[in-house]
Amino acid sequence: METPSSSKPSFFQKTRNHPLATSFTLLATLSVGILAGSVLTRNVSGMEQQHIDSSDARPLVIPSPVTLSNGFSQIAKQVGPAVVNINTESLPKPAAVKPRGSRRRGQQNGDDDSQQQGDMQDFFNRFFGGQGGDDDSDGGPAGSERRALGSGYIVDPRGYIITNNHVVDKADKIFVKLSSDPDRGDPGRPAHVIGVDKDTDIAVIKIDTKDPLPTVKLGNSDGAQVGDWVLAIGSPFGLSQTVSAGIVSAKNRAIDEAPGANGVATNQFQRFIQTDAAINPGNSGGPLVDMTGAVVGMNTAIYTQSMGSQGVGFAMPSNTVANVYNMLIGPDHKVVRGSIGIQFQEGQSSAVGRVYGFKNGVMVSVITPGGGAAKAGLEPQDVIVSVDGRPIKDGDDLVADISARHVGSTVKLGYLRGGKEQTASVIIGDRAKLASDVASNDNDDSGNTPQESDAGQNKLGIKVAAVPASVAGKLGIKGGVIITEIRPGSFADEIGLSKQAVITEINRRPVTDESSYRAAVNSLQSGSDAVFVIRYPGAANRGSSFVGGTLP
């Protein structure tokens, strides 16, 4: 008979039979392992530290300050104390009640181009801390308090400060902080406006002070040359005493050529120094200084697509600023500019000069009734070529000369009429008063659809029709033809003729109807100059415009 053999229980049987004991055994084993690892790690660390010898390391010594041969820092120290931070407050105004469904002027259904142009113009005017437009949509929620930031610089130790008009425009409260004022929560010293000039966007403000204040040194902007180093100083984004460096990129630069009421350019007196010195929101009104520390400009605007500096900034020349300042601190606190009472077209084609027989000069488009030119007998299409014997280059040259003259003084004008030179003595008038006499008439209320004509389609690329009587009456003309269609890429399209423009002359030949229009067009030859005298029904007081080019 076989009997079972006896054997010892295995490890797994013991584990299954005594689980609690097994758990304690495992925990004890892990604890011993962790303790041993800690001891070994400490021993290793200690061994490593014992083997590193840093006795040869020498402590760092901060050197004494060294003044580098950089003129920028010296200029910043020299000019900085006279540069101020300006912040303004506009109190809530009662919201204007607008008709339901109303839109901003010029905005059409499905077309926001006019709105975008308006936004860009508003941006140029108010980018550096202006107060927004006439409604609350430009500056924040209705009924909210508006705040704006800008810069300025002291030109008189008694507290007179120059800045931009758009910095203080429509502000109810103006505060100024000097570079020496403590940086605490209060807005600064109260200031009041002495005078403003919207045409150049210049303002003069003043703060009360018992002690003389530091001032800038004025420079002559005519001496600034393209390529010269300049520094822009101001408070971009509210960061006071910020300095940026660049060069003069261009001079006599205009940033907006769009005409305003009556077809007159809104920036007639705004010709800027262009610079690539970084200029940002809040820099407006701050100085642009040359390497002698003299102010050659006042930072006013930038061109940007990102609401920040892209290296294209604009500063009003210091000579313009000084002349305006001297008038604003006068008894009347306003700028008075001379005028002879004419309007003219900017940027005419060279073909106009060749057809009408002049190279340099200004062709008159409109004679303002009651103005000096009207009283002296000047007429539209006269070409002004000299002032007191000095040759006139272009419209900017003429405006700069006449506007600087005293009202009531007399000037001798040389002009061409029919190719013959004549002279006239013209009395200088007040530009503001003459401008107020010009009635605005921008709306074309003609609902007539003129009958089209086929003349000129092949040669010019346009269709025309007889001018409706209502349009002729509004423009004060006896006849002409109105453009009803322009072929894209045609000669007319390339030289800038526009639909609904009224043609009254072609190459000095009167156009009174479709027959005279066809005769004038048929006389045009390939390779010759073609100049059109144009009137715009939507701007009756704009006068004649001259559009020309060379026929292919």
Report d(CA 419, CA 382) in Å as an integer.
Answer: 9
Identity at 246, one-letter amino acid code: G
Burial of 121: CB neighbours in 10 Å, binned 0-12, 13-18, 19+: middle
User: Is residue 545 annotated as part of the catalytic site, yes or no?
Assistant: no
User: Is residue 201 annotated as part of the catalytic site, yes or no?
Assistant: yes
Report d(CA 149, CA 85) in Å as an integer.
Answer: 8
Catalytic residue chosen out of the listed positions 235, 284, 490, 545: 284
Report d(CA 225, CA 290) in Å as an integer.
Answer: 10
How many degrees, rounded to 5, is the angle at CA 372 between CA 366 and CA 374? 45
Burial of 488: CB neighbours in 10 Å, binned 0-12, 13-18, 19+: exposed
Q: Do strands 146-156 and 83-90 pair parallel, antiparallel, or not at all (unpaired)?
A: antiparallel
Which has the closest alpha carbon to 232: 123, 76, 126, 81? 76
The string of DSSP letters for 120-176 reads HHHHHHHTTT----SSGGGTSSTTPPEEEEEEEEEEETTTEEEEEHHHHTT-SEEEE
User: How many Cβ atoms from other residues are within 10 Å of residue 218's Cβ?
Assistant: 18
User: Is residue 284 annotated as part of the catalytic site, yes or no?
Assistant: yes
How many degrees, rounded to 5, is the angle at CA 350 between CA 348 and CA 352? 70
Report d(CA 50, CA 357) in Å as an integer.
Answer: 99
Q: Retrieve residue 394's tokens.
A: 């272009």
Burial of 187: CB neighbours in 10 Å, binned 0-12, 13-18, 19+: middle
Report d(CA 291, CA 196) in Å as an integer.
Answer: 29
Catalytic residue chosen out of the listed positions 199, 201, 276, 382: 201
- What share of residues in the chain are helix, strand, coil (percent, to 5)? 25, 30, 45
Q: Which residues pair with 465 in a beta bridge?
A: 452, 482
Residues belonging to the active site: 166, 201, 284
